[in-house]
Chain A
């Protein structure tokens, strides 16, 4: 593991602004990723996540603000500290897998002999031990993704930036890859995770930031974000006909005799219950209040926007 013993944030982004031509892509974005945490960096496609990461890693120059890794502007001489799995996946398709893994590991600062040993061990671990001499192009998408993650973590970086690491993986391999990430975290690595899978975020992330239209829409621990959303969900089971009441709540899902309601801010939960059981005349059998899931918060944030495109 590369040394990163410092009390300052591993990633420190302040007042970051990015403009492409006349378009403001990122506006006054500030956040920090602390040592040893898994940080969820969320947002719909086009929200500005990849631009932020590329600028953090000096692939792009910011229009304004500072973006620091371990207190410094990133440059490739710091590559041993950072493992980057980009959204745009790609390795040498026509080269043997082992050669490619060793090449990148050596570029990340490992000795060739160490790189070879680690690459072979990794391939065994992910079930590709017999594919070391195969060309990447001959592997399935999922297998290629494992190689890509291997290239990212082989040198055991202190900061891993993973952009959609489990995209296009089946559940078994998704679990395997998340285990690998968890192992790195257990060794002390800091993880900056970009994903659209909210269950992964809830499972892994200590803190999150949700971006929307180039600005921070929510930032903090998962619970802080949930609390800050101000929204709660009522799970209600009943007999009768559930009426609409735009003043009190919105029906987020409905089955024949149960529903989930997101009630409006500044409305007391008691008012909702009194309306349902009294005015609406429902026979309420269960009435449970819970905090919204991250997925619900995410959907609420992006409510009314067209479905995001697949690019970024």
Chain B
């Protein structure tokens, strides 16, 4: 078996496609982090600066029927005043204005109206400007009315931080931070299945396509071969996981603001939740690896096998569509069904485990189901390779396989 592991791991590591697949996700994540980081910094710019910058580059006018917007701020931002709403809209329509900001009398209920030159769908460069003008004007008014309360102004300008303390069965629970450690196993499961399913299916489909299976099966027991391949896939998964996680950890250490106040050292490590996560990660991985490798042995070639793979992989994602139910009503019948259905159980249990809504009883029953199914799929993979891989260029049926 070790020879199989060494061969399979080394030949995968020598392939460029493996490294592209390994580094593409972290690069994308880093890019997203980078964009978010710079967006956060950019948003810290003051509204006055924004107003000034905007008004200098674009001709902006406003009309305040609410009486809340400070005329001084408007003047500071070089924002002209239109006599009527209609005149403002007409000026924008004719191209005379870049934007017209209208604050109706009941602005708190009907909201701010912006009329502007079209800069493409989703382009709303005046939203922040209009909102901040109003917020700063109101804050200044409050400050003038309650000169002793700096808190009132601060609260108006920035929503206060919220600290939630939760209890379960009379014991304080860790809240969101408590989901991080068990959530790691859910993320790892997704990553392993997404990144490695092509490797899983090609590891057997390729043998069949290459017609190497006949020599292999006379040289090594099918069980040892499949076992070796599964372990090698797990090793490759570990390599890819490190490749993905390492840049993220580096990014978090480099830009601690991204952790949004959570200290790494304060993340609670619940041994029970971690054990459940590890067990379901292993059993779920074995279940899907066995299933996909078995399918790979039954299908004539890699390209055909890849088309079939989606039918099975989709089940990994089905529980994600019920995530709101998992949070709000974990005893819902749909959640229960997906907890016990073998192909959705790994994902559902890992999600519930992370969100703290998994009972020990549910975990035990689901694990029995997943472990038994995993044992079956591994047996199925061995049998499919044993009897299906020699049927070159032909798809064998389940009936033939189980005969």
Contact = CB atoms under 8 A, between A and B. Distances in A.
Interface stretch (A84-92, A187-195, A269-277): A84-92
A76 B215 CA distance: 10
Interface string A47-87: 00000001001110000000000000011110100101010
Given A103-B7, A106-B3, A57 B210 contact: no
Interface residues of A, number: 26
A213 B228 CA distance: 40
A247 B10 CA distance: 71
A311 to B, nearest CB: 10
Contacts of A82: 218
Contacts of A91: 210, 212, 215
A90 B218 contact: no
Q: Is the interface of B mostly helix, strand, loop or mixed?
A: helix
Contacts of A90: 210-215, 392
B11 A95 contact: yes
Interface in B204-245: 206, 210-221, 224
B212 A79 contact: no
A109 to B, nearest CB: 9
A214 B11 CA distance: 42
A61 B231 CA distance: 28
B326 interface: no
B contact residues, range: 20 to 34
A84 B213 CA distance: 12
Contact of A59 (B11, B218, B220, B224): B218
A57 B211 CA distance: 17
A89 B390 CA distance: 11
Contacts of A103: 3, 7
A84 B11 contact: no
Contacts of A151: 215
Interface string B112-144: 000000000000000000000000000000000
A104 B215 contact: yes
B227 to A, nearest CB: 13
Given A59-B217, A76-B217, A89-B211, 8 more contacts: A59-B390, A76-B219, A79-B218, A90-B211, A91-B212, A93-B210, A95-B11, A151-B215
11 contacts: A54-B214, A54-B390, A59-B218, A76-B218, A86-B215, A88-B211, A88-B392, A92-B206, A92-B212, A107-B216, A108-B219
Interface of A: 54, 57-59, 74-77, 79, 82, 84, 86, 88-93, 95, 99, 103-104, 106-108, 151
